[in-house]
A and B are shown apart, each in its own frame.
Chain A
Amino acid sequence: MSEAPIPASTAAPAATAAAVAPLLEVRDLHARVGGQTVLKGVSLAVNAGEVHAIMGPNGSGKSTLAYVLAGRPGYEIISGSASFEGRDLLSLAPEERARAGLFLGFQYPVEIPGVNNAYLLKAALNAARRERGQSELDAFEFLSLVRSKTALMHIDESFLGRGVNEGFSGGEKKRNEILQMLVLEPKLALLDETDSGLDIDALKVVANGVNSLRGAGRAIVLVTHYQRLLDHIVPDFVHVLTRGRIARSGDRTLALELERRGYDWIDGQAAA
């Protein structure tokens, strides 16, 4: 492999039609959390129809990037910009970003006993539908939609009546995140370490779910530490985030090379 690193600022794949703005465009984003600057100039462009993987060692800023894009409180933007379908993403409240079609799959989904899964799904779906100018689903339409998705995710229907993630295993929580994604059908899914803590069977189920959402109108950004997820969800682009910047971008072979050579390889190159 002698592929030259693509400069971060031009990491965006060449737009096929110059007139079409990327679905997500991040430019030179700097952000800090807890007084520490974690993102130090991230640039990234994601077009509809693409699957991107953002890889990197622990502490490189992967989750921070996901949280900043989803609008988590406590993350402060220092400079730079992020747009979603041409709108200034960073000026929107988290709920507005979600309704605009951005979905964050959490690395550590929270438990909310007392609010059942079905209620959350329905409230979230109807909020998204209202935003799109669609009518709300009635109970019957909602249930038949959800049933097809629970089957795909190997989730027992009884889960719907339980509290959100209440008493779920790690793997069940991750499958539940993907279930929510499938019901909401976002334009952009940001999946933060969705593969962590999954055994191989669960990984396949999750990958199936994610792959079922792939399509021309949508994009998926996978944040992951390990290559193995990418065996099941094959990305179009792979970016390596180290020390708060995208140090290198490439196609899926970059992930395989990382697997072989480790993140130190990128670090060594970046330092050189």
Chain B
Amino acid sequence: MRSTSNPAASTPARSSLLDRVLADYRGIAAQLPGDADSRAARARAAAHLGDLGWPSARDEQWRYTNLRALDRIGAFAPDTAAAPAATLAEVPPALPGFERLIYADGRLVSGSHGSLAADLRTGLKAAEWLPEQRLGWLCDMFATDAARLTVAGDAAIEILFINSGRASSGAAYPQLQLRCEPGSRVRLIERHLGAGAPASLVAMNITIELAREATLTHYRLQQYGRDTVFIDTLSAQIAERARYAVRSVAVGAGSARTSARVQLAGRGATLAWGGIAVGRGEQVHDISLKVEHEAPETVTEELFRGIADERSRVAFSGHIRIDARAPGAQTRQSLRGLIEGASAEIDLRPRLEILTDDVRAAHGATTGRLDEDLLFYLLARGIDRPTARSLLKWAFLSDALREIDVPALRAEAERLAAGQLPDVPDLGALA
């Protein structure tokens, strides 16, 4: 049932959207897959969201999110029909050495899990979300499928999430739950693509658990079409001497919001978060990352590069909390923003909350326009102005891009980044 005719949709009252969401949920709850526990978890999620209320732009945590884009979502209930066949034109070539799972519109359509020691089945493991992650409940309410992977030893996994635009509903709710066993070494590629239907929504939850001495490198490429609203909510728990590295490239979706929380729970746990976001047109990229140091000698390295072109908006909130249990913690935060458009906007918010004396913390956040000295150097070599500007934007992203250590993926990430920059010629020679 499409609810575009729902009278609530045209009511401007602040709670109308939440009312619609809850109404859609009540309408579909009985058809959603899962056992009694799953149903109970969904109901709890709906209750939590109802209690907390829909996020508001008046809330500092949601100020930069394009919440109005959600008003345009016709129906929040997902498609509960059988999964579409895996004949998807959008599927990119496989990456050598990576096993692949493909989800289309929130449903598994292709992939085997035996060799991954994975357990894929419909079901729900409810997570606890922070208020700034409250749209995680939205996914928990409506999720139709979940990838639950438990990995021991070494593994390389690629998961594609495709927004096909062919489902009967424009809303999809994929879930990914990954546990890396002690000492495991895992590379995970999470890729979001597909043009999607007009005003479609992908709301995804990711929960990650790294046992002691596990290493996870998590590559995230988001390249949805501009008609898609993308919301992802991520929660990661990192145990003793485990290392979680994120390499994130966000270029797609009309509006995207990432709400991430990483808990460094064991001694020596490390987070290395590197991300770029490039906005053009009216795009909004809003990233909120909270890191909690809860054990001694925990380490955070954060690197973010954002470019806002034309009328786009890019926001990154990096909150690092070092509590009294975390002496010897180290943090390094490097946030940089580049404004290209006359009415573009960048907002970088580093925040360091330190509750112990023994901490080494370095942070820097700068936003500006292209360096005129660099521009003049390129012009003085005869390079035309649009190309020179694009080259410098490319250079601005380069330290984040070079962290992507899977060559074929890095080439893909570079192609995506360059696709967001006008006038980059002859891409192959750039890298």
Contacts and interface: CB of A to CB of B under 8 A. Distances in A.
Interface of A: 70-74, 93-95, 97-99, 103-104, 106, 109-110, 112-116, 118-120, 122-124, 127-128, 131, 163, 180, 184
Contact of A120 (B381, B384, B398): B381
A110 B382 contact: no
B42 to A, nearest CB: 46
A97 B381 CA distance: 9
B353 interface: no
B357 interface: no
Contacts of A119: 391, 426, 429-430
B147 to A, nearest CB: 35
Contact of A123 (B372, B374, B387): B387
A131 B381 CA distance: 13
Contacts of A180: 381
Contact of A106 (B372, B377, B425): B377
Given A73-B376, A119-B429, A113 B395 contact: yes
Given A95-B382, A99-B382, A72 B399 contact: no
Given A94-B376, A106-B377, A112-B377, A127 B429 contact: no
Contact of A118 (B374, B378, B429): B429
Interface in B411-431: 425-426, 429-431
Contacts of A103: 380
B365 interface: no
Given A73-B372, A112-B374, A123 B383 contact: yes
Given A110-B374, A123-B425, A131-B382, 19 more contacts: A71-B379, A73-B372, A73-B376, A93-B379, A95-B385, A104-B380, A112-B374, A112-B377, A113-B399, A115-B392, A115-B394, A115-B395, A120-B381, A120-B391, A123-B383, A123-B426, A127-B383, A184-B381, A184-B382
Given A99-B382, A184-B382, A116 B376 contact: no
Nearest to B375: A73
B391 A115 contact: yes
Contacts of B377: 106, 109-110, 112
A123 B425 CA distance: 9
A70 to B, nearest CB: 5
A232 to B, nearest CB: 25
A185 to B, nearest CB: 12
5 contacts: A73-B376, A95-B383, A116-B429, A119-B429, A184-B382
Contacts of A113: 395, 398-399
B382 A127 contact: yes
Nearest to A161: B431
A124 B399 contact: no
B427 to A, nearest CB: 10
B381 A72 contact: no
Contacts of A71: 379-380
B396 interface: yes
B382 A122 contact: no
A145 B109 CA distance: 52
A46 to B, nearest CB: 18
A123 B394 CA distance: 15
A114 B382 CA distance: 19
Contacts of B387: 123
Contacts of A72: 376, 380
Nearest to A112: B395
B399 A114 contact: yes
Contacts of A128: 382
A54 B95 CA distance: 58
A109 B374 CA distance: 9
A180 B383 CA distance: 13
Nearest to B400: A114
A94 B374 contact: no
Contacts of A115: 391-392, 394-395, 398, 430
A262 B396 CA distance: 45
Nearest to A130: B382
A110 B379 CA distance: 13
B368 to A, nearest CB: 16
Among B381, B387, B388, max chain A CB count under 10 A is at B381
Contacts of B388: 95
B397 A94 contact: no
Interface string B195-225: 0000000000000000000000000000000
Contact of B397 (A114, A122, A124, A184): A114
A95 B379 contact: yes
B373 interface: yes
A120 B382 CA distance: 10
